[in-house]
Copies of this chain bind each other. A is one copy, B any other.
Amino acid sequence: MIKEDSNLIGVKEIARRANVSIATVDRVLHKRGGVAAKTKQRIEEIIKEMDYKPNMLAKRLASKKIYRFAVLIPEESKETEYWKLPLDGIKLALEEEGIFGVEVTYYLFDLDDRNSFTEQGKKILATPIDAVIIAPSFITEAMEFSKTCMEKKIKFVFINSDIPLITPLSYIGPDLYQSGRMAGNIAHYLIKDKGVLVLNISKELDATYHLVKKTEGFESYLREKDSITQIHKLTLNQTDYESVSLELEKFLQYNEVDLIFVTNSRVFVVAEYIKEKGLPIKLIGYDYLESNLKFLEDGEIDFLISQQPVKQGYIAMQTLYNYFITSEDVMKIQHMPIDVLTKENYKYYKL
């Protein structure tokens, strides 16, 4: 018999009320079967009645199952310093959530080499894995990889950018279009009468899907405001200073602009150029990077837009965690805030 000790808590209390053992309650809670229909019903009622919330501490302490996650994102380099940040977020989440029960392996690919994505992807598929965090930088390759994951019942989330036609467990990243509109909004205050240049700088053309989205948003905003502003567009697929400055030189020979909007984090290259030439051109770009902040502080860059790269990693991890360990519902789309940074507030920006 169960003792009449009241003020019990959790499964014990349920067991007492239902006059069964905690194991039976456990079976119901985990839908493990093997419980008589009416017992089950009785227990379920009590659970509802008590509004029972399992103690997560105890739960995780007692559960020994290990989930294996993989991370497939670009490696950090001087040119793509950015990718350190989402990685930091992932690691942070791992620490905070208490490492118990998750094992993460990192597979980093080269943003300048689409094959490296596929290679790393293959490595992942060769290991027993429950889920992957993917930065789908190369559309075709990412689509293929995603499909294989779906076949193998491996869950995956996208961070930083999404790709068409594929629905991951969750997308964690900016609303690219709206991000462009935000830039347009600011730009509108900076453009006088000479117009603006939208600048895409990227080696792998495939990686420009999200640049295009931003450009669209940007244009749409300006066009709504007025239809006369000159909007020039330029795409460069060499990222080094020499190439960029050369192209800019050429462009500016025949055109005048108030503002340059760089659609990704390589805005520092342009800033360098503007600084060197001492041009009176305003500059908007992306991402909280050392190389950009320098120019923000100095005044060459007027605005930086940042979309919480660290948080993206953090939330991606958390999302998988919630899905697997606490089996919560996960949101299909988790858009990041669109943060506006200037010289005056960037120091307070928490990544």
Q: Which residues of A contact B (CB under 8 A)?
A: 55-58, 60-61, 98, 100, 175, 178, 181-182, 184-186, 189-190, 221, 335-340, 342-345, 347-350
Contact B61 A178 (CB under 8 A): no
Q: List 11 A-B contacts (CB under 8 A).
A: A55-B100, A57-B61, A178-B348, A181-B344, A182-B344, A221-B344, A337-B339, A337-B348, A337-B349, A337-B350, A338-B348
Which one of B57, B337, B342 lies within 8 Å of A98 (CB-CB)? B57
With A55-B61, A57-B57, A178-B348: A339-B339 Cβ-Cβ less than 8 Å:
yes
B58, B335, B344: the one within 8 Å of A178 (CB): B344
Q: How many copies does the complex hold?
A: 2
Contacts of A342 in B (CB 8 A): 182, 185-186, 340
Q: A345's contact among B58, B340, B343, B344, by CB below 8 Å, is which? A: B340
Q: Which residues from chain B contact A185 at a C-beta distance below 8 Å?
A: 342-345
Report the Cα distance A182→B341, complex, angstroms: 10
**A58-B61 Cα distance, complex, nearest whole Å:** 7
Give the shortest distance, in Å, between A151 (CB) and chain B (any CB). Answer: 34
A351 — nearest CB in chain B belongs to which residue? Answer: B337
Closest B residue by C-beta to A282: B189
| Smallest beta-carbon distance A141→chain B, Å | 29
Q: Is the CB of B175 within 8 A of A348?
A: yes
**Chain B residue with the shortest CB-CB distance to A53:** B99
> Which of B55, B56, B61, B184 is the one whose CB lies under 8 Å from A344?
B184
Tell me if B337 and A344 are in contact (CB < 8 A): no
Q: Taking each of A56, A337, A342, which has the highest tally of chain B beta carbons within 10 Å of its own beta carbon?
A: A337
The distance in angstroms between the C-alpha atoms of A184 and B342, with both chains bound, is: 11
- A345 and chain B: residue at smallest CB distance: B338
- Per the bound structure, the CA–CA distance linking A56 and B61 in Å amounts to 10
Beta-carbon nearest neighbor of A56 in chain B: B98
**Complex CA distance for A186 and B186, rounded to whole angstroms:** 10
Q: Which of A57, A186, A347, A349 has most B Cβ within 10 Å?
A: A57
Q: How far is the CB of A226 from chain B (nearest CB, A)?
A: 15
Please determine whether A100 and B57 come into contact, CB atoms closer than 8 angstroms.
Answer: yes
Report chain B residues within 8 Å CB of A175.
348
Q: Which residues of B contact A344 (CB under 8 A)?
A: 178, 181-182, 184-185, 221, 338
Report, nearest first, the 7 A-B pairs whose CB atoms are least far apart.
Answer: A338-B345, A340-B340, A185-B344, A182-B344, A57-B61, A182-B345, A189-B189
Q: Contacts A57-B60, A189-B190, A338-B344 given; 16 further ones with Cβ under 8 A?
A: A55-B100, A56-B98, A57-B61, A58-B61, A61-B61, A175-B348, A178-B345, A178-B347, A182-B345, A185-B344, A335-B348, A337-B339, A337-B348, A337-B350, A340-B340, A340-B345
Roughly how many angstroms separate A316 CA and B110 CA in the complex, as a whole number?
A: 41
